[in-house]
Amino acid sequence: MSAPAQPLVSIRDVTRTFTRGSENVHVLTGIELLVNDGEFLALMGPSGSGKSTLLNLIGGLDRPTAGSVAIGEERVDKLSDRQLAAWRARHIGFVFQFYNLLPALNAERNVELPLLLTGLNKAARRRHVAAAFEAVGLTHRAKHFPRTLSGGEQQRVGIARAIVTDPTLLLCDEPTGDLDRKSGDEILSLLQSLNREHGKTIIMVTHDPHASARASRTVYLDKGQLSTTPTT
Amino acid sequence: MLSLIQLFSVAWYNLRSLPERKAAALTAAVGIAGVVGVLVGVLAIAEGFRRTMTVSGSPEVAVVLRSGSDGEMTSGLERDATRTIGDAPGVARNGAGPLSSAELFVIINLPKRSTGTDANVPLRGVEQGAFDVRGNIKMEAGRRFATGRNEVIVGAGAARSFAGLEIGKSIKVGQNDWQVVGIFTADGGLAESEIWTDTAVLQPAYHRNNSFQSVYVRLTSASAFPQFKDTLTTDPKLNVKVMRLSDFYEEQSNAVTKFITTIGVFIASLMGLGALFGALNTMYSAVAGRSREIATLRALGFGAGPVVFSVLVESVLLSILGGGLGAAAAYLLFDGYRASTINWQSFSQVTFAFQVPPLLLAKAIAGATLIGLLGGLFPALRAARQPIAAGLRES
């Protein structure tokens, strides 16, 4: 009998409140979430439900107002800005809805960016970049600039950039939100393959049931509360 | 090492993206070029004027004026006094006697070539010893004036700036016509703005009897000056002020140099303030336009320091580019450009060439760099403080 999977992500009683003028807006309230290593979790909910805020907390882009966020052994909410930046570089791969590729760099250079923070030499960086392009099936477009790539291709480059450092966790914020159905399906298949064949832990924010169907588990967020069933 | 890689890779990326913002970047650079161009242009006037006034001020030449006078115009010395001065210890001699020249300094009106309007031109009566005393007077054309005759020689600067000073022409001074017989140079110094004649002929023309305004002497060496000065200033029969020629010229040029420098720095400061706001605006726009890119870099793990550094590098490089352009333009336009202006100490025109020395260029570019640093600092800090999550949502 195999040992139970250890939670990679532990979110305990997390609250996130924003202050707008004199008003406090409670975006997340008492969130409890565990994500196991190797899981592909879909985080669903309507617009403004706090999905991206929760993803930002997990990725160390934001801090909770209360509660704790731990990734593995690391209490992310306790890290300084400088420590957080270094931690993100080591452990997190981000995939954005609008790809967020740097327009002045070609695809290859975009993918190489996170490797500049690893201390690898140029030859090693080239090898890693080549492997990432191969994984996303875009080797033939590596020298192209983002403006010459289709949306689907740009998202593949975005995924290659996210996996090039072999991060602990992939965080995808509406990765198919800007794509047509066919391209979206290809991206979802790619993410599924990264999860199943390479064991990547993935948390994907989406409001598309078609996308969440590819995940191994789906949780729902509405009005700052998490549930395992969709709210009506 | 990793930090350095971060610093330079973000700065490198930032510069690579510059062509996407070329209009704003060029506007900032051109603004700074304008500031540097004006600053260098105006200071080149002051520098040229100062150089003209001081270049020929040899430390081995001394000038003696009446005590209390602030220039030759307000000085007066009798013949006996000029002889005592020439015989003082420390004065060099040749076969003809002491190397000294008792001189008379008057102002005449001549039309400027550029405008046709009359301007004050210094006419200096000198003794033959004046050529050996100055040591740098060279006849460029014609010959020296003959003693006892109404002849003048004209400094090359005066000949260029004022009409009617060609060899063979005559100028009317007082009741008499004086013929131009030669053009001389003085290593670009103040004497080139003057007209020289025999002091013995000038005295009666101006009813000066046997009085002079200054005595110029060549000393045996620069170190002979203290003895020479002490001898004259302690002589109870004399009431004189003794200066090295270099100090005298420095003093004579101070007021105009300071005025031009003050005006130049004032104008450049105002323009610099404008350029600073231009740079601030450009860099704020650059940061705002790149919010998502900056947030993306930070999300990937790049720190705030490299972001600040990259914005500062861009701002400083744009400023250096603008400063370099402005300095180059100012150098090409102004260096060696000839003009004349009035010297308030002598109320006469001084012709001079604008000077743009390397140090002035370096200072101007350093000023531009400072504008770039200040103009980039606040936008850089804003970029670094921008919440990453908010930046990622920017379109």
| Residue B233 sits in the same domain as residue B297 | no
**Nearest-by-CA chain B residue for A120:** B2
B168 domain residue, yes or no: yes
B115 domain residue, yes or no: yes
Note down the domain range covering B318.
2-54+252-392
Instruction: Tell me the C-alpha distance between A112 and A132, whole Å.
Output: 10
Could B296 and A102 be called an inter-chain contact, meaning their C-beta atoms sit closer than 8 Å?
yes
| Residue B303 sits in the same domain as residue B272 | yes
Give the closest-approach CA distance of B289 to chain A in angstroms. Answer: 12
Task: Note the pLDDT of residue B339.
Answer: 80
Q: Which of residues B216, B238, B260 is at a domain's end?
A: B238
| Residue B116 sits in the same domain as residue B185 | yes
Q: Give kind and range of the element (H or E) at residue A28.
A: strand A23-36
SS3 content of chain B, % helix, strand, coil (to 5): 55, 25, 20
Task: Note the pLDDT of residue A151.
Answer: 94
Q: Does A79 touch chain B (CB under 8 A)?
A: no
| Residue B120 sits in the same domain as residue B84 | yes
| Residue B301 sits in the same domain as residue B185 | no
| Tally of domains in chain B | 2
Within 13 Å and on the Cβ side, how many CA atoms surround B346? 30
Task: Note the pLDDT of residue A1.
Answer: 44
B62 domain residue, yes or no: no
Q: Which of residues B238, B263, B293 is at a domain's end?
A: B238
| Residue B21 sits in the same domain as residue B76 | no
| Residue B77 sits in the same domain as residue B165 | yes
Instruction: Tell me the C-alpha distance between B308 and B306, whole Å.
Output: 5
**DSSP secondary structure of B256-303:** HHHHHHHHHHHHHHHHHHHHHHHHHHHHHHHHHHTHHHHHHHHHHT--
| Residue B8 sits in the same domain as residue B42 | yes
| Residue B119 sits in the same domain as residue B227 | yes
Give the closest-approach CA distance of B386 to chain A in angstroms. Answer: 11
Q: Which residues of B touch A113 (CB under 8 A)?
A: 9, 297, 300
Q: Does B386 touch chain A (CB under 8 A)?
A: no
Q: Which of residues B186, B213, B238 is at a domain's end?
A: B238
Q: Give kind and range of the element (H or E) at residue A76.
A: none
pLDDT digits (tens, 9 = 90+) for B318-340: 889 999 999 999 999 999 888 87
Q: Higher confidence at residue B216 or residue A226?
A: B216
Instruction: Tell me the C-alpha distance between A120 and A89, whole Å.
Output: 13
**Nearest-by-CA chain B residue for A93:** B300
| Residue B118 sits in the same domain as residue B257 | no
Q: Which residue in the block uniquely carries the two structure tokens 């939100």?
A: A177
**Nearest-by-CA chain A residue for B18:** A104
Instruction: Tell me the C-alpha distance between A225 and B5, whole Å.
Output: 42
Q: Which of residues 277-336 of B touch A (CB under 8 A)?
A: 292-293, 296-304
pLDDT digits (tens, 9 = 90+) for B125-158: 999 899 999 998 999 999 999 999 999 999 999 9
Tokens found for residue B315: 């701002």
- In order of A174, A188, A212, A213, the CA distances from A40 in angstroms are 14, 11, 9, 10
Q: What is the DSSP letter of B146?
A: P
ipTM, two decimals, is 0.92
Q: What are the backbone dihedrals phi and psi of residue A89, each rounded to the nearest 5 degrees, phi first?
A: -60, -35
| Residue B119 sits in the same domain as residue B186 | yes
Handedness of CA B316, B317, B322, B325 (dihedral sign): positive
- The class of domain A39-56+88-227 in CATH terms is alpha beta
B245 domain residue, yes or no: no
**Nearest-by-CA chain B residue for A118:** B2
Contact B214, B124 (CB under 8 A): no
Contact A38, A195 (CB under 8 A): yes
| Residue B36 sits in the same domain as residue B165 | no
| pLDDT < 70 positions in chain B | 1-2, 56, 344-346, 395
Q: Which of residues 46-65 of B touch A (CB under 8 A)?
A: none
Domain boundaries, chain A: 39-56+88-227
B247 domain residue, yes or no: no
